[in-house]
């Protein structure tokens, strides 16, 4: 008993203090007020958690502070929105990725033969530059004049309805020509991605397996393109619930792929050089947001429609009633609360339990926990830590992107949403302790509650007994207050509530 | 027994010259620039009767493209001061701060508010107040954030800077800060107006730049600076030798904060406007990019980086329109990947190798 107290003294003190402060605040309010405030706080906390948990895991395992995490959040939101409202965009862009991935996979097999022929360092360097130029040139040539803007113009006009204009998309023959060029461009990319050092030691799948996977991928891509018109009609006729689930899947997968791309392209070559990694992700966060703005436009989109499960304009008396009525709000202790926000809370809790169980109960989770402690030792025990790094990066990115999709109906979709959530996630992770999964959860809950109560008090005003007037402020003060909490935690325990001592 | 040679005054001067001639050359160029620009790209039609040839030259320097390029160099020098102060943190002391913009922005806001209609302080007093404010601010936040290290410190400083950004944008202090519009057209003393007396402002900025450069150079060459570098390289070892590295890092933090505030104040005076974006992460990223592109841990690096980024930004915006930041981000990442020590750092490594190779060649030729 004493050891628990000793080990987690600061954590217990802070949690107890939070409970006392919350209790004190709640004392002065009616139940219906504080319950709805706490639910709003939980909604925010859930979204913060989806971003912060990935950040914390990535930092804990590989000491990388990913400044591009907010970009992945925005990417998820935009991909989700496009899937929900504008499937035409998907049918035109997905084949590009399928074909590119198939080509890269196949050329990995060429990589071994290619790099083992070139032994001279100087020639290797020249070959790298030539390959890079060829890959960039071919991909740019393939995508020249791709009508991205026109394809996106339907986002707002096509709410729920069918897209009628056919001119926006390229004709089929042109698209196939683009795909052919992309397949060619994937070859130098694949050669670049296969390791140049000691190529004979790289273990690859048998050629027929790769060919099968790559062939299926390319086939799916081409079929999507061929059936794009009927597919679009079919998708828009689906119920909004199904489309929402599709959006969730697409957004999450896009985030995971983005994470893999960032890890392999920008992070992996620079392990052991954290400042370079950090500056690179920072550069990516500038370029990434600009890229998203170039593709989807700079203006804010209206919130994505909520799925029909949460969209009937009525008010259920209880959660039980909502199961049959699908109302958009539900009665919580005498006040209406949107059911979609309850769904956000549910997703956050489910992710917390799911990832927590994964970390506690599975072999991968064991490796991750061991890697957080000492990744060199794990490597020495014969486990391919680099592959685990990639998987954790993909997982963290996927969680952030999922957060983006879920936040889309609640907050709307705009390019700046990522940096806001990223900053709050940073603060939450610092409060909770970097690398600690539980810490990320506790930190986000504290932040969410602070924001919700702060917003409430700023709107209602604080009536201090020794002052005549009620102090009122703008929401900005509530936003700044989270930094104050972080400063206090840092003064008490610099490594965060659940952080280890250095 | 070694013989001590008397160093004559002449050879001392020669040694001083041989160490400083590149700096002097650049300084000479910067001092002569308004005149050169006035002769070459100034507007010749502004010449007036009876002002003499030198007066006419000054008039030409205040016109057309000459005026514009002086403005460009003023901005480069301001950002060079800012980037040098950042390099004192990251390059010399190894402190990765993401909140450096809070000093830049606070310096700008402080001078704008103090000489503005709310306080209406005399200019000199306001400038002194800016330095005092920056001292106090950097002391408080230095003590707070230097409790943690590495990436933690990056995030903590980022959050502090964000707090200042939010407060500057908040509607509660609109009377003082102008909320999200910022402050524009505050009464800068007429003798310092950058629109009427561009050349005068140019020389003012140049004086500040040279002073800051010399102070930082003196600081990093002093024993204090050596301890800063030692704590960057291996903090445990520096502590073990007996240095309290906290105080040295705090010194660097405070000095960097004051110089950044000075740069912010100059920027505010030049543009006669301050906006919340001066406090945003974007400004810190600018300083970081300039330092890293130029070369960490060198003083010439940030100056070179500031020049490159200002000119690059100007040309990219002209060529690519609003989407130039995308290309800027990509160029930034490519430079980080391919020139990991920055331009000056890479050049130094190269020349070092060249010298070694030259020595080897001589030895081989001598038959050793």
pLDDT, tens only, A308-363: 777 777 777 777 777 777 777 787 777 788 888 889 999 999 999 999 999 889 99
Q: Which chain A residue shows the shortest CA-CA distance from B296?
A: A275
- Determine the distance in angstroms separating the CA of B59 from the nearest CA of chain A, rounded to an integer: 42
Q: Which chain A residue shows the shortest CA-CA distance from B140?
A: A487
Can you read off the two tokens belonging to residue B63? Answer: 């016109």
Number of domains in chain A: 1
Cα B199 from chain centroid? 20
DSSP element (H, E) containing A316: strand A312-316
Residue B3's pLDDT is what?
A: 54
DSSP conformation class of A265: I
Q: Which of A266, A273, A427 lies at the smallest CB-CB distance from B159?
A: A427
Length of chain A: 502
Spatial separation of the C-alpha atoms in residues A93 and A91, rounded to whole Å: 6
Spatial separation of the C-alpha atoms in residues A225 and A92, rounded to whole Å: 6
Q: What is the pLDDT of residues A68-88, one digit of tens each?
A: 899 999 999 999 988 888 788
Residue B5's pLDDT is what?
A: 57
Residue A33's pLDDT is what?
A: 81
Chain A contact for B201 (CB, 8 A cutoff): no
On whether residue A498 sits in a domain, the answer given is no
Can you read off the two tokens belonging to residue A459? Answer: 């709107």
Spatial separation of the C-alpha atoms in residues A140 and A481, rounded to whole Å: 46
3-state SS class at A312: strand
Mean pLDDT on A406-430: 88
Q: Are A399 and A76 in contact (CB under 8 A)?
A: no
Question: What range does the domain containing A384 cover?
Answer: 2-492
Spatial separation of the C-alpha atoms in residues A351 and A346, rounded to whole Å: 9
Q: Judge whether residue A467 has pLDDT over 70.
A: no
Query: Could you tell me what percentage of chain B is helix, strand and coil, using 3-state DSSP and rounding each to the nearest 5?
Result: 80, 0, 20
Cα B317 from chain centroid? 22
Sign, CA torsion A182/A187/A189/A193: positive
Q: Are B299 and B220 in contact (CB under 8 A)?
A: yes
Q: Are A215 and A101 in contact (CB under 8 A)?
A: no
Residue A357's pLDDT is what?
A: 92
DSSP element (H, E) containing A141: helix A121-143
Which residue(s) pair with A327 in the sheet?
A: A312
DSSP element (H, E) containing A328: strand A327-332
Averages of pLDDT over runs of 10 residues in chain B (368 residues) are 58 84 89 82 71 73 81 93 93 90 94 85 89 94 86 85 87 78 83 82 93 93 91 88 91 95 93 90 88 87 92 87 80 81 78 68 67
Identify the weakest region by mean pLDDT among A3-7, A491-495, B296-300.
A3-7
For chain A, the residues whose C-beta falls within 8 A of a C-beta of chain B are 59, 63, 65, 266, 269, 273-276, 278-280, 282-284, 286-288, 290-291, 293-294, 419, 423, 426-427, 429-430, 434, 473-474, 476-477, 479-480, 482-484, 486-487, 490-491, 494-495, 502
10 Å Cβ neighbour count for B261? 30
Cα A230 from chain centroid? 31
- Determine the distance in angstroms separating the CA of B284 from the nearest CA of chain A, rounded to an integer: 11
Residue A358's pLDDT is what?
A: 92
Q: What is the pLDDT of residues A216-265, one digit of tens each?
A: 988 988 888 888 888 888 888 888 888 889 999 999 999 999 999 899 88
Which among B110, B101, B81, B91 has a CA at the least distance from the CA of B141? B101
Terminal-residue alpha carbon distance, chain B? 28
| Whole-complex ipTM | 0.78
8 Å CB contact of A502 and B149:
yes
Which among B145, B136, B96 has a CA at the least distance from the CA of B257? B136
8 Å CB contact of B160 and A487:
yes
C-alpha separations of B179 from A309, A474, B151, B165, B274 in Å: 41, 11, 31, 10, 11
- Provide the H-helix boundaries in A381-416: 385-411
A-B CB pairs within 8 A amount to 110
Spatial separation of the C-alpha atoms in residues B160 and A226, rounded to whole Å: 53
Best residue in B284, B337, B340 for a mutation probing chain A (most A CBs within 10 Å): B337
Can you read off the two tokens belonging to residue A274? Answer: 């954290």
- Alpha-carbon radius of gyration of chain A: 25
Residue A464's pLDDT is what?
A: 62
8 Å CB contact of A286 and B336:
no
On whether residue A174 sits in a domain, the answer given is yes
On whether residue A502 sits in a domain, the answer given is no
Query: Could you tell me what percentage of chain A is helix, strand and coil, using 3-state DSSP and rounding each to the nearest 5?
Result: 75, 5, 20
Which residue(s) pair with A462 in the sheet?
A: A471
Q: Judge whether residue A159 has pLDDT over 50.
A: no
Q: Which H, E and C letters describe A425-441, residue by residue?
A: HHHHHHHHCCCCHHHHH
Q: Up-side HSE of residue A474: CA atoms within 13 Å toward CB?
A: 12
Residues of B within 8 A of A494 (CB-CB) are 147-148, 152
- For B367, phi then psi, to 5°, come to 80, 30
Residues with Cβ within 8 Å of residue A281, at least 6 apart in sequence = A64, A65, A66, A67, A68, A262, A266, A267
Which among A493, A490, A492, A472 has a CA at the least distance from the CA of A482? A490
Spatial separation of the C-alpha atoms in residues B114 and A93, rounded to whole Å: 55
The whole-chain average pLDDT of chain A stands at 82
Please give the CATH number for the structural domain made up of B36-362. Answer: 1.10.3470
Identify the weakest region by mean pLDDT among A134-148, A185-199, A384-398, B226-240.
A185-199
- For B274, phi then psi, to 5°, come to -130, 140
3-state SS class at B348: helix
Q: Which chain B residue shows the shortest CA-CA distance from A435?
A: B152
Q: Judge whether residue A158 has pLDDT over 50.
A: no
Spatial separation of the C-alpha atoms in residues B144 and B102, rounded to whole Å: 15
Q: Which of B145, B172, B333 lies at the smallest CB-CB distance from A287?
A: B333
Which among A356, A375, A259, A250 has a CA at the least distance from the CA of A304? A250
Q: Which of A293, A429, A476 lies at the smallest CB-CB distance from B170?
A: A476
Q: Are A250 and A83 in contact (CB under 8 A)?
A: yes
Q: Up-side HSE of residue B93: CA atoms within 13 Å toward CB?
A: 29
- Cβ-in-10-Å burial (0-12, 13-18, 19+) of A197 comes to exposed
Can you read off the two tokens belonging to residue A488? Answer: 């206090």
Confidence band of A21 (pLDDT split at 50, 70, 90): confident
Cα maximum dimension of chain A: 84
Q: Which H, E and C letters describe A4-61, residue by residue?
A: HHHHCHHHHHHHHHHHHHHHHHHHCCCHHHHHHHHHHHHHHHHHHHHHHHHHHHHHHH
Which among B97, B93, B87 has a CA at the least distance from the CA of B154? B97
Can you read off the two tokens belonging to residue B105? Answer: 């922005």
Which residue(s) pair with A330 in the sheet?
A: A316, A337
Best residue in A282, A475, A491, A493 for a mutation probing chain B (most B CBs within 10 Å): A282
Residue A157's pLDDT is what?
A: 46
Spatial separation of the C-alpha atoms in residues B347 and B358, rounded to whole Å: 16
Spatial separation of the C-alpha atoms in residues A68 and A26, rounded to whole Å: 38
Residues with Cβ within 8 Å of residue B231, at least 6 apart in sequence = B93, B94, B238, B239, B243, B245, B248, B249
Residues of B within 8 A of A65 (CB-CB) are 151, 154-155
- For A328, phi then psi, to 5°, come to -85, -15
Q: Are B126 and B111 in contact (CB under 8 A)?
A: yes
Spatial separation of the C-alpha atoms in residues B108 and B134, rounded to whole Å: 11
- Determine the distance in angstroms separating the CA of A461 from the nearest CA of chain B, rounded to an integer: 13
Q: How many separate helices (H) and strands (E) can be counted in chain A?
A: 20, 3
Q: Judge whether residue A141 has pLDDT over 70.
A: yes
Q: Which of A279, A476, A480 lies at the smallest CB-CB distance from B288?
A: A279
C-alpha separations of A175 from A36, A90, B231 in Å: 51, 14, 58
- Determine the distance in angstroms separating the CA of A287 from the nearest CA of chain B, rounded to an integer: 5
On whether residue A500 sits in a domain, the answer given is no
Residues of A within 8 A of B154 (CB-CB) are 65, 278
CA–CA–CA angle B351, B354, B355 (5° rounding): 90
C-alpha separations of A344 from A235, A420, A423, A442 in Å: 24, 18, 20, 17
Residue B41's pLDDT is what?
A: 77
> Residues 14..73 of B with a Cβ closer than 8 Å to A: which?
none
Which among A93, A377, B357 has a CA at the least distance from the CA of A367? A377
- Cβ-in-10-Å burial (0-12, 13-18, 19+) of B15 comes to exposed
C-alpha separations of A46 from A97, A197, A343, A408 in Å: 31, 44, 10, 14
Q: What is the pLDDT of residues A161-203, one digit of tens each?
A: 444 444 567 788 888 888 888 888 888 888 887 777 776 666 6
- Determine the distance in angstroms separating the CA of A94 from the nearest CA of chain B, rounded to an integer: 23
On whether residue A405 sits in a domain, the answer given is yes
Q: Which chain A residue shows the shortest CA-CA distance from B171?
A: A474
Q: Are A485 and A446 in contact (CB under 8 A)?
A: yes
């Amino acid at each position: 008993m004493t050891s628990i107290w000793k080990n987690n003294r600061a954590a217990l003190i802070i949690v107890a203090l939070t409970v006392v402060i919350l209790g004190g605040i709640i004392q002065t309010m009616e139940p219906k007020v504080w319950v709805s405030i706490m639910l709003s706080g939980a909604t925010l906390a859930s979204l913060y958690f989806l971003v912060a948990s990935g950040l914390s895991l990535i930092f804990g395992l590989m000491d990388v502070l990913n400044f591009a995490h907010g970009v992945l959040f925005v990417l998820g939101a935009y991909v989700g929105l496009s899937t929900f409202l504008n499937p035409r965009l998907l049918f035109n862009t997905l084949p590009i990725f399928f074909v590119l991935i198939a080509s890269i996979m196949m050329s990995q097999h060429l990589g071994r033969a290619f790099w083992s022929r070139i032994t001279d360092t100087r020639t290797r360097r020249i070959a790298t530059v030539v390959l890079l130029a060829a890959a960039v040139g071919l991909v740019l040539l393939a995508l020249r004049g791709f009508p991205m803007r026109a394809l996106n113009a339907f986002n707002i006009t096509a709410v729920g309805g069918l897209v009628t204009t056919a001119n926006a998309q390229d004709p089929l023959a042109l698209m196939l020509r683009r795909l052919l060029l992309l397949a060619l461009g994937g070859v130098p990319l694949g050669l670049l991605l296969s390791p140049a050092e000691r190529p004979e030691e790289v273990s690859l799948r048998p050629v027929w397996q790769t060919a099968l996977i790559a062939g299926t991928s390319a086939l799916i891509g081409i079929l999507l393109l061929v059936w794009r018109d009927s597919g679009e009609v079919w998708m828009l006729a689906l119920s909004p619930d199904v489309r929402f689930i599709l959006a969730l899947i697409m957004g999450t997968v896009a985030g995971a792929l983005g994470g893999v791309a960032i890890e392999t392209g920008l992070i992996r070559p620079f392990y052991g050089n954290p400042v370079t990694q950090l500056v690179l992700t920072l550069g990516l966060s500038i370029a990434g947001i600009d890229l998203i703005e170039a593709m989807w436009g700079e203006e804010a989109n209206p919130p994505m429609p909520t799925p029909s499960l949460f969209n009937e304009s009525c008010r259920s008396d209880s959660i039980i009633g909502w199961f049959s009525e699908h109302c958009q709000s539900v009665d919580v202790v005498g006040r209406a609360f949107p059911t979609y926000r309850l769904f956000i809370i549910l997703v956050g809790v489910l992710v917390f339990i799911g990832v927590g169980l994964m970390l506690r109960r599975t072999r991968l989770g064991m490796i991750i926990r061991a890697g957080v402690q000492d990744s060199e030792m794990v490597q020495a025990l014969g486990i391919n830590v680099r592959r685990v790094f990639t998987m954790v990066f993909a997982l963290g990115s996927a969680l952030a992107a999922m957060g983006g999709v879920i936040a889309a109906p609640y907050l709307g979709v705009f390019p700046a949403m990522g940096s806001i959530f990223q900053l709050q996630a940073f603060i939450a992770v610092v409060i909770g302790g970097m690398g600690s999964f539980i810490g990320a959860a506790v930190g986000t809950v504290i932040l969410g509650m602070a924001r919700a109560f702060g917003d409430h008090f700023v709107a209602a005003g604080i009536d201090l007994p020794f002052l005549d007037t009620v102090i009122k402020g703008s929401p900005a003060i509530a936003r700044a207050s989270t930094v104050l909490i972080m400063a206090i935690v840092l003064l008490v325990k610099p490594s965060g509530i659940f952080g280890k001592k250095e | 027994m070694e013989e001590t040679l008397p160093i004559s005054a002449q050879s001392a001067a020669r040694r001083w010259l041989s160490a400083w001639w590149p700096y002097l050359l650049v300084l000479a160029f910067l001092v002569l620039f308004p005149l050169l620009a006035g002769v070459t790209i100034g507007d010749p039609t502004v010449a007036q009767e009876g002002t003499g040839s030198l007066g006419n030259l000054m008039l030409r320097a205040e016109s057309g493209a000459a005026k514009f390029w002086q403005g460009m160099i003023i901005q480069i020098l301001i950002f060079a001061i800012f980037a040098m102060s950042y390099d004192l943190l990251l390059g010399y002391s190894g402190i990765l701060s993401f909140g450096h913009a809070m000093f830049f922005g606070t310096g700008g806001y402080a001078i704008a508010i103090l000489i503005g209609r709310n306080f209406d302080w005399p200019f000199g007093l306001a400038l002194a107040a800016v330095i005092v404010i920056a001292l106090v601010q950097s002391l408080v936040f230095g003590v707070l954030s230097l409790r943690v290290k590495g990436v933690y410190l990056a995030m903590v400083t980022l959050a502090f800077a964000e707090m200042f950004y939010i407060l500057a944008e908040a509607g509660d202090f609109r009377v003082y800060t102008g909320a999200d519009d910022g402050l524009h057209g505050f009464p800068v003393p007429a003798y310092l107006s950058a629109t009427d007396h561009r050349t005068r402002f140019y020389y003012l900025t140049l004086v500040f730049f040279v002073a800051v450069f010399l102070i930082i150079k003196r600081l990093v060459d002093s024993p204090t600076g050596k301890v800063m570098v030692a704590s960057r390289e291996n903090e445990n070892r520096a502590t073990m030798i007996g240095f309290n590295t906290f105080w040295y890092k705090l010194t660097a933090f405070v000095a960097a904060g004051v110089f950044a505030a000075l740069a912010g104040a100059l920027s505010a005076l030049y543009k006669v406007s301050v906006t919340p974006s001066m406090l945003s992460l974007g400004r810190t990223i600018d300083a970081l990019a300039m330092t890293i592109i130029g070369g960490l841990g060198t003083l010439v690096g940030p100056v070179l980086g500031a020049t490159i980024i200002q000119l690059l930004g100007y040309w990219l915006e002209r060529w690519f329109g609003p989407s130039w930041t995308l290309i800027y981000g990509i160029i930034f990442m490519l430079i980080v990947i391919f020139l990991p020590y920055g331009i000056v750092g890479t050049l130094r490594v190269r020349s070092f190798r060249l010298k070694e190779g030259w020595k080897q060649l001589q030895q081989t030729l001598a038959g050793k």
